[in-house]
């Protein structure tokens, strides 16, 4: 297994969106309301247009787990910038993590998170706390 930075070129983004991102969001849509997808929109075209621009920023990072040429999961992080009214530094946050059903239960999610944390620590961030949330209506 390799955990590699997600390439931002259009061909790679299109493959990722069609074969992984869209199916994963369709699966999650049934579990969590915030993953509901828009109707009447070419979802692939929209995401292929949006994603490369996001990947070109210094604040957003994405890694994919490749197992024998198949995308098994991904993790994304973004920088939570502190407004000037707060006395805290900017902090990286895990925005999204997903492991395909066939690869669940083997520790892949832990490896993806560990990769994201290790990268942020290389950038000089220090781990101070973990925050987890859940839908309280469920």
pLDDT over threshold 80, residue 4: yes
Q: How far apart are the first and last CA of the chain?
A: 34
pLDDT of residue 15: 84
Contacts of residue 61, defined as CB under 8 A and 6 or more positions apart, other chains included, come to 5, 76, 77, 78, 116, 119
With cut-offs at 50, 70 and 90, classify the pLDDT of residue 129. Answer: low
Range 81-108 average pLDDT: 84
Contact by Cβ (8 Å): 92, 76: no
pTM: 0.72
pLDDT of residue 137: 63
CATH class of the domain defined by 2-122:
alpha beta
Beta bridge partners of 77: 61, 94
Q: Greater confidence, 63 or 83?
A: 63
Contacts of residue 26, defined as CB under 8 A and 6 or more positions apart, other chains included, come to 37
pLDDT of residue 42: 92
């Amino acid at each position: 297994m390799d955990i590699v930075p997600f390439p931002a070129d259009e061909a790679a983004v299109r493959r990722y969106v069609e074969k992984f991102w869209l199916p994963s969001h369709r699966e999650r849509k049934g579990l969590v309301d915030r993953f509901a997808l828009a109707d009447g929109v070419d979802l692939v075209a929209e995401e292929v247009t949006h994603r490369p621009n996001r990947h070109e920023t210094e604040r957003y990072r994405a890694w994919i787990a490749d197992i024998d040429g198949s995308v098994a999961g991904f993790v994304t992080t973004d920088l939570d910038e502190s407004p000037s009214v707060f006395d805290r530094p900017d902090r990286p946050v895990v925005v999204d993590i997903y492991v395909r059903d066939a690869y669940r239960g083997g520790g892949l999610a832990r490896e993806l998170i560990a990769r994201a944390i290790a990268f942020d620590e290389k950038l000089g961030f220090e781990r101070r706390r973990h925050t987890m949330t859940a839908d309280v209506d469920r």
